[in-house]
Structure 1
Amino acid sequence: MSDGWQPTIMVVDDEDSIRLAVERILTRIDCKVLMAANGQECLGLLDRDKVDIILLDLKMPGMDGMEVHQRIREIDDSILVIIITGYATIETAIEAMKQGAYDFIPKPFEAEQLRLVIKRALDKLYLTRETERLEEERRNTLFDLATEKSRTRSIVEAMPNGVMVTNSQGQVVLMNQAVREQLGLDQDCEIGQAVASYVPDQDLCSFVTSVGQGPDSGEVSTCELDMGREVTLLVKARPIRGDHGEHHGSVVVFVDISAIRKLDRLKSEFVAKVSHELRSPLSTIHEQMAMVIQDLLEQEGLIQDQRILSRVQERTKGLINLVEDLLDLSKLEAGAAYQNVDDVQVEDLLTRLIGYLRDQAQGKDQELNLYLPSKQAAPVRADPKALESVFTNVISNALKYTPQQGRVDVTLKADQPGKLVLLVADNGYGIDEEEQDRIFERFYRIKDEKTRFITGSGLGLPIVKGILDDLGGSIRVQSTKGEGSTFEIVLPTEDRG
C-alpha cells in the first residue's frame, strides 16, 4: 500500500494445490502469506501472528469452516474472512456472511477472480485504517464527513458494494455511487433525509434505525432485501460508537447476492425435476418386484431367489423414500410445500398415525404406546399433511433406531396455554452428545456398528425442522448413548391463553 503497510493474509485449506496457487498469486501483489492445512493450525498461527485477511475453506476434515470462522471472530473480529466455497456449500457461505464473513469466492476460481476479491478486502482495510487515523486527528461530525473531499470519501465512492452511513437521528449522511444504483436512486439526490426517504422497504428502514439502539454486542446485524426483478441484497449494519459508548449512527453495507440466490433456486429446481422423473419408474419397479416375490411364495425350492429379490425390493423402497424426501425438501425451499392450512386436532391425527405405525413396530416385536391428555387440546393451525410428515418422521425414526423388543412412548401434553408439546421417547441406541445438533443437518446420518445397516437419506429430520420453523414451532433432542432418546416437538395452538 502507499503508506508502506504490507497486509498479512492467511490461506486455510486442506488442499496443498489450492494453498500453493493462492500463495503464488498473493505474493505478486506484495502480501505476506501464511498457510494452514486445517482449523487447529489456523488458530495456532493466530496466537503468534497478526493477520488482516483469512481465506477460509468451509469443507475441511476435523474442525469445519463454520466453527473455525466463529473462533476467528472470538479472537479478533477485525480480521476479514473470505469464504472459499464449492457450489454444494453456497447456503453455508450465505450463513457465514450473515454471521460476519466479509465475502466469498467459489471453487474453482481464476487468478483474476482472487485478485479482485482480495483488492476489495484491502480497500476496506485501508478505508478502516484511514477512518481511524482521521478520527485521531479530528473529531468532526458525520455531516462533515459527507462533505469532506478526502481520500476516504474517494475510496468509499469507488467501493463495489453499496455503503450508507446514518447519524444518531437516523438521517443519511453519506451514500456512495453503488448504493444509489442498487436502490434505484437519482445520482444527484441530496442526502440528509431520514432512511425511509431512500429505502423502499419499511422493514429494512426499521432494521437500519434500530441498529445501535440497544447494548452493543459487537455483532454485525444482517437482513435481506428483495428488490424485485430477481435482485436480492444482503444488508449488513453496525453501529458507530463514541469514546464513551454513545451512539453516533450506523454504517450499512449492501451486498448483491442475486447470483447466489439464482444458483440456489436452479439447484432446487434441478433436484425437484430429477426426483420427479425418478419417482414413477422406481414405483413401477417396486410394484413389479412385489408381484414376482408373491409368485415365488407360491412355489417351492426358490427361497434363495426370494431372499435376493426381497433385498432388491427393500433397496428400491429406500430409493423411493429418498426421492420423496428430495421432493419434500425442494417444495419446502420454494415455500410451496404446505398451503392447505386448516385447524388440526392433533389427538385425532396421532391416533390414526399410531394405528398405522403399530404394524411397523410389531414387525420388530416392539411396544408402541400413545398417551393423550385427559382434556381435548386446542387445535393447531397448519397443513395436516405437514404435521403428519413431522410426526411420521420422528416416530418412524424412533422405531428404526430401537432394537427388537424395544419400547417407544408417544406422549402429548397440553398443560401450557398457547402450545402443545409432543414427546417421542425410546430405549434404543441413543445419540452421542457431539452428534445431537448435527442430526438436523441435511444428509447427516449416524453410522456405527449398530446403525450402519439402517437405511435412510438423512433428510427426514432436516425436513421436520424446516416445517416446524415455518409453523413457529421447534424440535430438540435429549439422548444418552446406549440408553435411548427423547425428541421434544413444540407446536403453537389457536389457544393463546
Structure 2
Amino acid sequence: MKFFKFACLLMLLSFFSCDDDEEPIATPTCSDGIPNGDETGVNNTIEIIINPPWWKANLAYSFYLLIFLGSMTVIYFFIKGKWELKRRLELVNQESIRLKELDKVKTNLFTSITHELRTPLTLILGQLELLKIGLFDSKQINRVQIAEFNAKKLLYLVNQLLDFAKAESNFIKPKMSEQDVVSYLKDIFNSIIPLYTQKQIEYYFHSEVESLKMYFDSEKLEKVFINLLSNAWKFTPNKGKIELHIKKESSNWVVIELSDSGKGISEENLSKIFDRFYQVPDDGNISQDISGTGIGLALVKQLLEFHHGKIEISSVVNLGTNVTVWLPLGKKHLHEEQIIKTPNVSKNARSEGLTLLDLYSHSLRS
C-alpha cells in the first residue's frame, strides 16, 4: 500500500514538472500488491502524454504574431502621420511668414507712394488758392475751382489710403484723452448738416445722457464718424431721414446707433462690406464724384478696434441701414503710454471732414 501511494505521488510530480518536449513518463505500477520487476519478470507501465497549455498552442502563437504585426503597423502609420502633419505645419508656417513679409513690403511701398503723392498735391492746392485771388474773370475762376475740386478729391483719397496703410501695419498709435463724447459727436454731426439740408433730409440727434466722459482718440474717432455719416448721406435719397442716437449700456459701454432710410444693403453684400477695397454694387444713383474707394468701412473697423470697440451693421433693402458702434468706458483696457492729459486736437481729421463736405457740396451743384 505504501508503494502504491508513492507511485501516485510520483505521477503527480511528473505531471506538473514535465516540459512539452519530455518523453512520456513510465511509472511503476502495482499488480495485486506485488511491485514491478519482481520475480515474475513482468514490467507494466502507464503512458502519460502531457499536452501544452492553450497559451502555448500553435494557434496561440499565430495570434500573438498577428497582434505584433498589427501593433507595428499602427505604430508605423501613427509616426508617419505625425511626421507628415509636422511637415505640413512647417510648410504652412513658412508660407505664412513669406506672405507677411510680402504684405509688409507692399504696405511700405504703398505708404511711400502715398506720401510722395500727397506732397505735390498739397503744393498744387496752395498754388490754386493763390491763383484764385488774382483772377476776376468768372470763367477762369470756374476753371480753377474745377482743378481745385479734383485736387482736393485726390488728396482726400490719398489721405484715406495712407490711413488705411498705417492701420494695416499697426503703425497708428492711439492717443487717448478723457473727453465728453456727447458734445464731441454732436459737433461732428452738426458739421454734416449742410449736406442734409441740400437733399432735404430730416436729421435727428438724440442722447439719453447730457454728457458722458470717456477715453478716446479724437482724431481717429472723427475719421470713423465722418465716414459713417457720409455713407448714410450718400445712400439716403432726397427727403429721407438720418438719426444718431447715444445711450449708455450698463457701466461698461457707450452705444452709438446711426440709422438711415436709404436703399439698404442685401445680405450677400452685407457680409463683405468690411473687406478692404470692396464696394457695394452701384445702382446708378450715386455720382462718380462721391463714389468711394472701398476702404472706408475697413478703416472704420480697424480704428474702432484700436479703441477696443466694435461695430455691427444691419440692413433691409429699400428700408434702410442701422449701424451700431460700441465703445468701452473707463481706462482699464488701456495702457499707460496710450493715455495723454491734453486732448488730441484733430486738425487733420477736421480738415478732411471739411474737404469731404466741399466735395459732396460740389457734386450736388454739378
CA contact (8 A) 2:208 2:246 kept: yes
Is the alpha carbon distance of 1:391 and 1:139 closer, same or farther for their aligned partners in structure 2, counting shifts above 3 Å? Answer: farther
1:307 to partner: Cα distance: 5.1
Aligned to 1:272: 111
Is the alpha carbon distance of 1:281 and 1:405 closer, same or farther for their aligned partners in structure 2, counting shifts above 3 Å? Answer: farther
1:375 to partner: Cα distance: 4.6
Q: Aligned partners of 1:269, 1:495: CA distance in 2, in Å?
A: 32
Deviations 1:35-55 (A, max 9, x none): xxxxxxxxxxxxxxxxxxxxx
Q: Aligned partners of 1:406, 1:290: CA distance in 2, in Å?
A: 36
Match of residue 357, structure 1, among 178, 189, 192 = 192
Could you say what secondary structure the match of 1:403 adopts? Answer: coil
Correspondence list, 1:286-435, <5 A: 286-292=125-131, 298-300=136-138, 302=139, 309-379=144-214, 381-435=215-269
CA contact (8 A) 1:425 1:487 kept: yes
Is the alpha carbon distance of 1:437 and 1:310 closer, same or farther for their aligned partners in structure 2, counting shifts above 3 Å? Answer: farther
Aligned to 2:328: 492
Correspondence list, 1:131-146, <5 A: 138=70
Report the structure, 1 or 2, having the larger helix content.
Answer: 2
CA contact (8 A) 1:472 1:492 kept: yes
Q: Calculate the TM-score normalised by the size of structure 2.
A: 0.62
Between the two proteins, the alignment pairs up a number of residues equal to: 264
Q: Aligned partners of 2:310, 2:277: CA distance in 1, in Å?
A: 20
Q: Aligned partners of 2:120, 2:230: CA distance in 1, in Å?
A: 25
1:263 to partner: Cα distance: 0.6
| 1:468 counterpart = 2:304 | yes
Q: Aligned partners of 2:287, 2:201: CA distance in 1, in Å?
A: 20
Q: Aligned partners of 2:243, 2:212: CA distance in 1, in Å?
A: 19
Correspondence list, 1:42-121, <5 A: none
Gaps of 5+ in 1: 1-134, 164-177, 179-232, 235-253
CA contact (8 A) 1:427 1:484 kept: yes
* Paired amino acid for 1:333: E
What do you get for the CA RMSD once the two structures are aligned?
A: 3.4
Deviations 1:364-395 (A, max 9, x none): 4434332112353351x332222111111111
CA contact (8 A) 1:344 1:382 kept: yes
CA contact (8 A) 2:263 2:319 kept: yes
CA contact (8 A) 1:161 1:255 kept: no
1:460 to partner: Cα distance: 1.0
Q: Aligned partners of 2:274, 2:172: CA distance in 1, in Å?
A: 19
Gaps of 5+ in 2: 1-66, 333-366
| 1:161 counterpart = 2:161 | no
CA contact (8 A) 1:417 1:495 kept: no
* Paired amino acid for 2:328: P
Could you say what secondary structure the match of 2:244 adopts? Answer: strand
Is the alpha carbon distance of 1:311 and 1:416 closer, same or farther for their aligned partners in structure 2, counting shifts above 3 Å? Answer: farther
Could you say what secondary structure the match of 2:128 adopts? Answer: helix
1:487 to partner: Cα distance: 1.1
* Paired amino acid for 2:233: L
* Paired amino acid for 2:193: R
| 1:480 counterpart = 2:319 | no
Deviations 1:83-137 (A, max 9, x none): xxxxxxxxxxxxxxxxxxxxxxxxxxxxxxxxxxxxxxxxxxxxxxxxxxxx9x7
Is the alpha carbon distance of 1:294 and 1:372 closer, same or farther for their aligned partners in structure 2, counting shifts above 3 Å? Answer: farther
Q: Calculate the TM-score normalised by the size of structure 1.
A: 0.47
Identical columns (%): 25
Q: Aligned partners of 1:262, 1:462: CA distance in 2, in Å?
A: 21
1:491 to partner: Cα distance: 1.4
Q: Aligned partners of 2:179, 2:79: CA distance in 1, in Å?
A: 58
Q: Aligned partners of 2:317, 2:144: CA distance in 1, in Å?
A: 35
CA contact (8 A) 2:174 2:306 kept: no
1:362 to partner: Cα distance: 3.6
Could you say what secondary structure the match of 2:220 adopts? Answer: helix
* Paired amino acid for 2:87: N
Larger relative contact order (C-alpha < 8 A, sep ≥ 6)? 2
* Paired amino acid for 1:440: F
CA contact (8 A) 2:178 2:213 kept: no
Could you say what secondary structure the match of 2:192 adopts? Answer: helix
Report the structure, 1 or 2, having the larger strand content.
Answer: 1
Q: Aligned partners of 2:248, 2:194: CA distance in 1, in Å?
A: 28
1:484 to partner: Cα distance: 2.3
Is the alpha carbon distance of 1:356 and 1:278 closer, same or farther for their aligned partners in structure 2, counting shifts above 3 Å? Answer: same
Q: Aligned partners of 2:108, 2:143: CA distance in 1, in Å?
A: 36
Is the alpha carbon distance of 1:371 and 1:480 closer, same or farther for their aligned partners in structure 2, counting shifts above 3 Å? Answer: same
Q: Aligned partners of 1:433, 1:257: CA distance in 2, in Å?
A: 31
CA contact (8 A) 2:244 2:258 kept: yes
Q: Aligned partners of 1:347, 1:417: CA distance in 2, in Å?
A: 16
| 1:450 counterpart = 2:289 | no
CA contact (8 A) 2:202 2:239 kept: yes
* Paired amino acid for 1:408: I
